[in-house]
């Protein structure tokens, strides 16, 4: 019996290794196909965040007189992670449907399709973060302080949450093609409900001013908010800064890491629960993929 | 049959034919009550045990469930009833080159496709040269696959698939593609697999191939196993099924026993009189029809059209009026002295009708009646041709 178990374990290990290789192969393919015949190649993937940065800086710093110093740093800290989540989830939604020919004709672990979308977006996030950090070295060296470790759990939760959403969306989209459209709209609203282009303290203070501080909990329960705020705290080193008019401005909640860890914990719990739901849903629906496509 | 590699027990597969399919939430909600879907059993109570090292030919008329069975056995579709147990590494060649990306080069696609079929990168590297050599694509391996000819595409797909080193090989009619020399190569590869003890199950329409390379033939009809055993008998069984099968009936209205009707069709080699399913352009071909003419019925003639892709009639032949024997049967033979230089799978549309008024008593369509074989695999005509550039500019030649 023990021997049989060992053999089964060895087979399972070999199988997951092959799956991992298939996953890398798919991500490699997507990257190659995307940047084939393009002279600038990967540089294009930096264009999108830079464009957003330019537009939001223009609107919020000049038109709306936002008083956040180093707005670009605050914005990019959240936006890069958001755009990873956004593009991975959208891409994954169409991953199974888009590979219909393969799904109908070849047996392979279907789960690699949405995971490849996450991997593809992950490669971009890694490279974008790298470029971002290169810019931070001369322009915002404060980022490289002890608070930077917060980025690690923030990224980990972001990945788990993104994988969960991707599994769920890709499986459901096979049966209900509305998922694609629904998600596109939902993600737009979601983006504005997450403190990326405005500091989270604005929401807190406005709610407190209206006597609705209890609602702030619901605002924070959004896993992406927990992730984004923690990432901002990690890179945008000073929660309280001297504003352009000379006064003190609280951009991020001050007073230790408790606030960030607490909400990151909530985000992690939601993510893990959603991941379980995503795996369960994907397993349940994948038997019918070949038929439904 | 010790230690069977594939065991299918009571396998059934039901498809729901949605008259209006709910692919969105709204439709799902609205159609929930009145959803008009019809169950269709593509497979019914299929029991199949295939032991290690056997080669089984799976044949049957179109729509009999052959491809569905392969998909269920290979795990692409889940069976509605019954169980499938498969032991060993399985490679299913349902479509060659499924998963190729046109933008990538042949080399990149080999690694991608091999990974999809379950090969590790290291294994692929080990087989890489063999794969390229088998596909005969040494010069083109770094070209984008979108520039490949259909023949090159299929060769590369087959080459990758057979190097996955499977214990079980499921093949769906992929041998029908590719030119003849490649087909020979594929058959040689299959022979090699057989010697290595690989289990092979393949779907084919080339009936004479079944006795040649299979140790066993399985005939499927309407999702049920009709015959399981001797390959020669299996091929015969299918031929007779195709000749008289009720499912082959086309536009024939209500055909009563009192009306003239076709009872059997046979394709034969006119010289030997033997049954034959595939012909080359230039060869002689004969088609025999048995026609039942009830006593007292007016004389009838048989009109036959050979139809190609998209049901385009290629040519039409009409017989003289037939006069049945005492048993009420008449047999008419259409002979084509030299088959035109066509290629592909052709259907026969036959009508029994009044020679004067052209009133049709019986009309039937025999799809995939015969296969016309040519030297190349593309197009429907075998044509002598050349290509040359009219004004030649060697000075502008670019090395590539």
Domains of chain B, earliest start first: 4-240 (3.40.50.300), 250-373 (2.70.50.60)
Identify the pLDDT of residue B316: 86
Q: How far apart are CA B208 and CA B274, in angstroms?
A: 12
Pairing state of beta strands B261-268 and B344-353?
unpaired
Taking an 8 Å cut-off on Cβ atoms, the answer to whether B121 and A25 are in contact is: yes
Say which of A17, A22, A104 has its CB closest to residue B116.
A22
List chain B pLDDT tens, one digit each, 400 residues.
Answer: 446 688 999 999 988 776 555 666 666 666 555 555 677 888 989 999 998 888 899 988 888 888 899 999 988 888 999 999 888 888 878 877 788 888 889 999 999 988 888 888 888 999 999 999 988 888 999 999 989 988 888 889 888 888 887 888 888 876 666 677 777 788 888 888 888 888 989 888 777 778 778 888 999 988 899 888 888 888 888 877 776 433 343 333 334 456 788 888 888 888 888 888 788 888 889 998 888 888 777 778 888 888 776 667 788 888 888 888 888 888 889 999 888 888 777 888 888 888 877 777 777 777 777 878 777 766 777 788 888 888 877 777 776 6
CA distance A108 to chain B (A): 6
List chain A pLDDT tens, one digit each, 293 residues.
Answer: 455 566 656 666 777 777 888 899 899 888 888 887 777 777 888 888 888 888 888 888 788 777 788 888 999 999 999 999 999 999 999 999 988 888 888 888 899 999 999 999 999 999 999 999 999 999 999 999 999 999 999 999 999 999 999 999 999 999 888 999 999 999 999 999 999 999 999 999 999 999 898 999 999 999 999 999 999 999 998 888 887 677 777 888 887 889 999 999 999 999 999 999 999 999 999 888 888 87
CA distance A205 to chain B (A): 40
Taking an 8 Å cut-off on Cβ atoms, the answer to whether A291 and B108 are in contact is: no
> Do B362 and B262 form a contact (C-beta atoms < 8 A)?
yes
Flag whether residue B396 sits within 8 Å of chain A, measured between CB atoms: no
Q: What is the pLDDT of residues A234-291, one digit of tens each?
A: 999 888 888 767 777 788 888 788 999 999 999 999 999 999 999 999 999 988 888 8
User: For residue A252, what are the domain limits?
Assistant: 2-292
Q: How far apart are CA B18 and CA B314, in angstroms?
A: 35
B71 to chain A: which residues are within 8 Å by CB? 290
CA distance A173 to chain B (A): 9
Complex ipTM: 0.81
Taking an 8 Å cut-off on Cβ atoms, the answer to whether A17 and B103 are in contact is: no
Say which of A25, A105, A176 has its CB closest to residue B111.
A25
Identify the pLDDT of residue B244: 42
Half-sphere exposure (Cβ direction) of B166: Cα atoms closer than 13 Å = 26
Say which of B28, B98, B103 has its CB closest to residue A33.
B103
Identify the pLDDT of residue B364: 77
Q: How far apart are CA B120 and CA A221, in angstroms?
A: 42
Identify the pLDDT of residue A256: 84
Identify the pLDDT of residue A249: 79
> Do B308 and B301 form a contact (C-beta atoms < 8 A)?
no
Identify the pLDDT of residue B38: 72
Total Cβ atoms within 10 A of residue A205: 14
Which residue's structure tokens are 């090159």? B152
Instruction: Count how many domains chain A has.
Output: 1
Taking an 8 Å cut-off on Cβ atoms, the answer to whether A105 and B116 are in contact is: no
Taking an 8 Å cut-off on Cβ atoms, the answer to whether A287 and B78 are in contact is: yes
> Do B208 and B236 form a contact (C-beta atoms < 8 A)?
no
A176 to chain B: which residues are within 8 Å by CB? 23-25, 28
Say which of A22, A25, A104 has its CB closest to residue B76.
A104
């Amino acid at each position: 019996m023990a021997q049989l178990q060992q053999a089964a374990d060895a087979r399972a290990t070999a199988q997951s290794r092959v799956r991992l290789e298939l996953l890398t192969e798919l991500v490699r393919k997507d990257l190659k196909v995307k940047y084939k015949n393009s002279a600038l190649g990967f540089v294009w993937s930096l264009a999108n965040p830079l464009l957003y940065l330019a537009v939001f800086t223009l609107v919020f710093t000049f038109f709306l007189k936002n008083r956040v110093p180093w707005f670009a740093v605050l914005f990019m800290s959240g936006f890069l992670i958001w755009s990873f989540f956004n593009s991975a989830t959208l891409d994954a939604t169409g991953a199974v449907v888009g590979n219909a020919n393969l799904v109908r004709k070849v047996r392979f672990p279907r789960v690699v399709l949405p995971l490849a979308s996450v991997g593809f977006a992950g490669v971009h996030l890694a490279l974008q973060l790298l470029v971002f950090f290169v810019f931070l070295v001369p322009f915002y060296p404060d980022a490289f302080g002890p608070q930077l470790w917060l980025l690690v759990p923030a990224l980990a939760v972001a990945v788990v949450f993104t994988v969960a959403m991707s599994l769920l969306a890709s499986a459901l989209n096979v049966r209900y093609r509305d998922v694609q459209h629904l998600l596109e709209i939902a993600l737009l609203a979601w983006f504005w409900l997450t403190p990326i282009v405005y500091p989270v303290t604005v929401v807190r203070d406005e709610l407190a001013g209206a006597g609705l501080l209890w609602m702030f909990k619901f605002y924070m329960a959004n896993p992406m908010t927990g992730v984004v705020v923690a990432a901002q705290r990690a890179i945008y080193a000073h929660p309280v800064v001297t504003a352009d008019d000379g006064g003190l401005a609280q951009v991020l909640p001050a007073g230790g890491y408790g606030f960030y860890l607490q909400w990151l914990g909530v985000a992690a719990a939601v993510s893990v629960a959603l991941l379980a739901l995503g795996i369960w849903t994907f397993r349940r629906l994948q038997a019918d993929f070949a038929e439904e496509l | 049959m010790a230690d069977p590699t594939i065991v299918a027990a009571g396998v059934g597969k039901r498809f729901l034919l949605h008259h209006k399919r709910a692919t969105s939430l709204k439709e799902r909600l609205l159609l929930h009550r009145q959803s008009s879907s019809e169950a269709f059993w593509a497979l019914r109570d299929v029991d199949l045990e295939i032991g290690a090292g056997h080669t089984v030919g799976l044949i049957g008329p179109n729509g009999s469930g052959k491809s569905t069975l392969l998909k269920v056995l290979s795990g692409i579709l889940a069976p509605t009833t019954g169980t499938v147990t498969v032991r060993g590494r399985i490679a299913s060649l349902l479509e060659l080159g499924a998963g190729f990306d046109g933008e990538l080069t042949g080399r990149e696609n080999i690694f991608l496709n091999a990974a999809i079929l379950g090969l590790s990168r290291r294994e692929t590297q080990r087989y890489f040269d063999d794969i390229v050599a088998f596909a005969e694509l040494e010069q083109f391996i770094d070209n984008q696959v979108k520039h490949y000819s259909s023949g090159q595409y299929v060769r590369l797909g087959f080459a990758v698939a057979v190097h996955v080193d499977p214990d079980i090989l499921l093949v769906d009619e992929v041998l029908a593609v590719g030119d003849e020399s490649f087909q020979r190569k594929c058959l040689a590869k299959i022979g090699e697999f057989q010697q290595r003890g690989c289990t092979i199950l393949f779907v084919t329409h080339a009936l004479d191939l079944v006795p040649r390379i299979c140790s066993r033939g399985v005939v499927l009809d309407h999702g049920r196993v009709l015959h399981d055993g001797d390959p020669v008998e299996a091929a015969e069984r299918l031929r007779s099924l195709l000749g008289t099968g009720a499912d082959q009936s086309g536009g024939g209205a209500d055909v009563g026993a009192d009306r003239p009707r076709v009872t059997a069709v046979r394709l034969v080699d006119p010289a030997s009189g033997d049954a034959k399913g595939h012909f080359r352009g230039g060869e002689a071909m004969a088609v025999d029809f048995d026609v039942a003419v009830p006593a007292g019925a007016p004389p009838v003639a048989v009109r036959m059209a050979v139809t190609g892709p998209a049901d385009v009639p290629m040519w039409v032949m009409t017989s003289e009026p037939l006069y049945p024997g005492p048993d009420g049967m008449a047999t008419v033979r259409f002979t084509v002295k030299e088959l035109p230089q066509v290629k592909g799978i052709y259907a026969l549309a036959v009508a029994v009708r009044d020679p004067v008024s052209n009133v049709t008593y019986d009309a039937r369509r025999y799809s995939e009646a015969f296969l016309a074989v040519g030297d190349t695999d593309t197009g429907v005509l075998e044509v002598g041709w050349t290509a040359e550039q009219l004004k030649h500019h060697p000075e502008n030649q670019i090395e590539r």
